[in-house]
Structure 1
C-alpha cells in the first residue's frame, strides 16, 4: 500500500513537537504541502527543518477562534485549499492528577478549551472550504484516556478526549455528504514530549513495568506509529472510512 498525498494541503495543529511534529513530517514525506501550527512557535522551525521545504509554519492558538479563521483565510488566499486537517493540539497544561474537590473551574475549562473546543473551532473554520471542494479529511488525535481512564488521573483530560471522540462521530455524519471523512486516532502511552517524559519518570520502575505489562506487545510506541495511522486516514485508501476511532496502543 503506497500513500501519495501529492497535490494535497494539510494543516496540523500542535506541530511543534511530539505527535504533531511526526505527523507534519510524515505528511510532507508523502508529498503533501503542510502548514505546521503551534502556540509554541519557538519549536516550529525544527519541525520545518526536519520536514523539508514543503512544510510552512504558523503560530496558532487553537483556543482563539479569530486567529484560526485568519490563518485559514491567509492560507487559502495564497492558493492553498486545505484538504487535510489534523487536530493534534492538546495536553494537560501542566496539570497533575488531584482529587475532584481540588479542581478549579479554570483548570477544568482550560483543558477542555485546548483539547475539545480547539478541535471544534478548527473544523468549523475549514469545513466551508472542504464543502466547496467536496473533499476533506479530518483526523482528530484523542487518547486512550478518552476510551477508558487516564493514566494521569486528570478528570478534565479524560472527559475532553471522550468528548472529542463524540465530536468525531457527529461530524462524520454531518460532513459525509460533501465527501469529507472524519476519523480519530487514540494513542496509547508514548514518550513523545516533555510532559509524557515527566509522567514516565514519575511512575518509577514499578509503574513503568506495570504500563509495559498492560501492553500486548510489551513495549511503548513512537510518535511515528501515531503518524502512520494519520497518514492512512488522510489517504485515498481510507476513502470509505469515517466516524471511526483507531486505537494505536500496542494492544490492550
Structure 2
C-alpha cells in the first residue's frame, strides 16, 4: 500500500456517496486521517463501513455546509483532535433534486439553494481552515466543480452552471490570496459520471440515443468513474503538485 498521506489530516465534504466517498476512501487508503462530512447520515455510514471493510478508519460527521457556524465547529473539532489540517476537499454540491426548467419558472429559493451548497459551502470551509493552514505554512484546498462551470450544464439548470463557474472563480482568487503561506488551491472539473442517484436518473432520462450521443462526444468513448476523479484530487494534494495552484483540471475523457 502506497501511503503518500501518512500523518496528514484530510477533510472531505459531501462524502456520503459518489465522488466524495471515493475521495475519502482513497485518502484513507494512502494513510491519511480522514474526516468526512455530509447531511446524508445513511450514506456516511456506508462510507465508514466500506473503509472498515478494508481495515481503514474514516471519521464521519453530519454537517450542513451552507451553515457557516456548523462548518466552523466541525473544523475546530478536527483541529482539536489532530492539531493540523493538510487537505480540504470541497466536494459537497449538486442540483438538490432540481431539474431543468425555463428561466422564468425559477424561484429565488431554487436559485439560492444551489449556490448555498455549491459556492457558500466551499467558501465557508476554506475560510474555516485558513487560519490553521497559515499557521502550518502549508495546505491544499481542492474544489470539485463540473464541466458545467466551464461551459453549459447538461442538466439545463441555470443555477448549477452559474454556481460551478463561481466556484472556479473562487479557486483562482484564493490561490493568489493564500499562496504566500504555501497553500495551494486547485479545482477538478469532472465530466459526466454515473456516481449517485441523481446522475443515474439523468443518464436513464437520455434514452439509448441520448446516451450514445453523449459517449460519441467523449474522446475516449466511455464514461469515467468516481475513482478517476479521486485520482485527480490525490494528485493535487500530493507533493508532486507543490508548484501548481489556481488551476482547473478537466477530468472528462476528452472533449
Query: TM range, normalised to the smaller chain?
Result: over 0.9
- Contact map agreement 2:172 2:246 (CA 8 A) in 1: yes
The equivalent position to 1:111 in structure 2, one of 95, 110, 114, is: 114
> How far is the alpha carbon of 1:76 from its aligned partner?
1.1
Report whether the alignment pairs 1:187 with 2:190: yes
CA displacement 1:111-166 (0-9 Å, x = unmatched)? 00000111000000000100011110000000000000000000000000000000
Alignment match of 1:233 (pick from 232, 236, 242): 236
Structure 1 CA distance for aligned equivalents of residues 62 and 152 of structure 2: 32
Q: Is the 8 A contact 2:3 2:31 kept in 1?
A: no
Residues paired across the two proteins, number: 251
Matched ranges for 1:54-69 at <5 A = 54-69=57-72
User: What secondary structure is seen at the aligned counterpart in 1 of 2:31?
Assistant: coil
Over residues 81-131 of structure 1, what are the superposed CA-to-partner deviations in whole Å (9 max), with x where a residue is unaligned? 111000000000100001100000100000000001110000000001000
Q: Is 1:44 aligned to residue 47 of structure 2?
A: no
Shift of 1:54: 3.0
CA distance in 2, matches of 1:3, 1:123: 25
- Structure 2 residue 123 is matched with structure 1 residue 132: no
Distance 2:96 2:170 in 1: 21
Q: Answer yes or no: is the 8 Å Cα contact 2:9–2:82 preserved in 1.
A: no
**TM-score of the superposed pair, with normalisation by structure 2:** 0.97
Distance in 2 between the 1:250 and 1:117 partners? Answer: 29
- Offset of 1:3 from its aligned partner? 6.3
User: What residue in structure 1 maps to residue 202 of structure 2?
Assistant: 199
Q: Where do 5+ consecutive residues of structure 2 fail to align? A: none
Q: CA RMSD in A?
A: 0.9
The SS at the match of 1:182 is strand
Name the CA shift for 1:164/1:3 in 2 (closer, same or farther; >3 Å).
farther
Counterpart check, 1:154 vs 2:157: yes
Aligned counterpart, 1:97? 100
Q: Deviations over 1:23-77 (max 9, x none)?
A: 0000111111100100111211111122233311011110010001111111111
Over 3 Å counting, the alpha-carbon distance change for 1:3 and 1:78 in structure 2 is closer
Q: Which moved more, 1:39-48 or 1:116-125?
A: 39-48
